Structure 1
Amino acid sequence: MGGTAVVVGGGIGGLAAAIGLHRIGWDVRVVERAGTLADAGAGISLHANGLRALDTLGVGATVRAAARPQYSGGTRTPEGDWLSRMDGVALERALSTPIVGIRRAVLHRLLREALPAECLRIGVTVSGLDRTAPDRVRVPVGDEALDADLVVAADGVGSRLRGLLSPGHPGPVYSGSTVLRAITERPLRLRGDFELTWGEGAEFGHIAFTDGRAEWHAVLTAPAGVRHADPLGMLRRRFGRWHDPIPELLDATRPEAVLHHDIHELATPLRSFTAGRVALLGDAAHAMTPNLGQGACQALEDAATLAAALAHEPSVASALARYDAERRPRSQAVARAARQAGRLGQQLSHPAAVALRNTALRLTPSRVAMRAILRHADWTPPSLG
Structure 2
Amino acid sequence: MAQPHAVVVGAGVGGLAAAVALARTGCAVTVFEKAPVLDPVAAGLALAPNALRALDALDAGEEVRKRSAPHGIAAIRSRSGRWLLRTGPHETQVRFGDAVSVLRYADLVDVLLQRLPPGALRTGSAVTAVEPGTTRQPARVATEPGDVAADLVVLADGARSALRGELFLEHPGAVYAGFACWRAVVPWRPEDPIDFGETWGKGGTAGVLPLSGDEVYCYVTGNVPAGERAADERAEAVSRVEDWHEPLADLFAAARPEAVVRTDVWHVDTPLPAYHKGRVALVGDTAHAMTPNLAQGACQAIEDAVVLAHHASGSMAYVPTAVQSYTASRLPRTAAMVQRSAQLAEAVQNDSPVLTGLRDTAAGLVGKVAPWQLARYTRPVDDWRPPGAPRTADR
What TM-score comes out, normalization by structure 2 length?
A: 0.93
Matched, 1:334 2:344: no
Moved more, 111-120 or 188-197: 188-197
Q: In structure 2, what is the Cα distance between the partners aligned to 1:254 and 1:188?
A: 19
1:344 and 1:231 map into 2 onto residues whose CA distance is 25
Distance 1:190 1:111, change over 3 A: farther
Aligned counterparts, 1:64-75, within 5 A: 64-71=65-72, 74-75=75-76
The aligned residue for residue 183 of structure 2 is: 181
Contact 1:182 / 1:216 at 8 angstroms: preserved in 2?
yes
SS at match of 1:315: helix
Q: Which residue of 2 aligns with 1:378?
A: 383
Task: Indicate which of 142, 156, 160 corresponds to 2:162.
Answer: 160
Q: In structure 1, the residue corresponding to 2:221 is in which secondary structure? A: strand
Q: How far has the Cα of 1:185 moved from its partner?
A: 3.7
Which residue number in structure 2 is paired with residue 36 of structure 1?
Answer: 37
Please state if 1:101 is matched with 2:102: yes
Q: Quote the Cα distance in structure 1 between the aligned partners of 2:319 and 2:194.
A: 46
Cα distance, 1:127 vs structure 2: 1.2
Alignment of 1:231-310 (within 5 A): 231-310=233-312
In structure 2, the gaps of 5 or more residues are 390-395
Deviations 1:208-235 (CA, angstroms, capped at 9, x unpaired): 1111201111100122222111222223
The one of 357, 366, 369 equivalent to 2:374 is: 369
- Residue identity matched to 1:197: T
Tell me which moved more, 140-149 or 12-21.
140-149
Find the aligned partners of 2:22 and 2:46 in 1 and give their Cα distance: 25
SS in structure 1 at match of 2:205? strand
Q: CA deviation at 1:117?
A: 2.4
State the one-letter code of the partner of 1:128.
A
Q: Could you say which residue in structure 2 is the equivalent of 1:27? A: 28
Equivalent residue for 1:146?
148
Poorly superposed stretches of 4+, deviation over 6 Å? none
CA distance in 1, matches of 2:375, 2:88: 9
CA RMSD between the two structures? 1.8
Partner of 1:126: 127
Instruction: Give 1:101 deviation, angstroms.
Output: 0.2
| Matched residues, number | 383
Which runs of structure 2 are paired with 1:312-323 in the superposition (5 Å)?
A: 312=314, 315-323=318-326
Closer, same or farther in 2 for the Cα pair 1:145/1:189, shift >3 Å?
farther
How far apart are residue 240 of structure 1 and its match?
A: 1.7
% identity of equivalent residues: 39
- CA deviation profile, 1:96-151 (whole Å, cap 9, x unmatched): 11101010011111111111221110111111123466320122222122211000
Q: From the superposition, tell whether residues 317 and 41 of structure 1 become closer, same or farther in structure 2 (CA, over 3 Å).
A: same
Aligned positions of 1:3-18 closer than 5 A: 3-18=4-19
Structure 1 residue 89 corresponds to structure 2 residue 90: yes
Deviation string 1:144-193 (CA, Å, 9 cap, x unpaired) is 22211000001111112201100111111110111111111454556457
1:357 aligns with 359
Distance, in Å, in 1 between the alignment partners of 2:25 and 2:133 is 27
1:343 deviation in Å? 1.1
Which position in structure 1 is the counterpart of 2:393? none
Asked whether the equivalents of residues 49 and 380 of structure 1 are also in contact (C-alpha less than 8 Å), the reply is yes
Between 1:314-323 and 1:163-172, the stretch displaced more is 314-323
Alignment gaps of 5+ in structure 1: none
Secondary structure at 1:179 match in 2: strand
Query: Which letter does structure 2 place at the counterpart of 1:371?
Result: R
Task: Tell me what 1:171 maps to.
Answer: 173
User: Are 2:9 and 2:32, in contact at CA under 8 Å, matched by a contact in 1?
Assistant: yes
Does structure 1 retain, via aligned residues, the 8 Å contact 2:40–2:106? Answer: yes
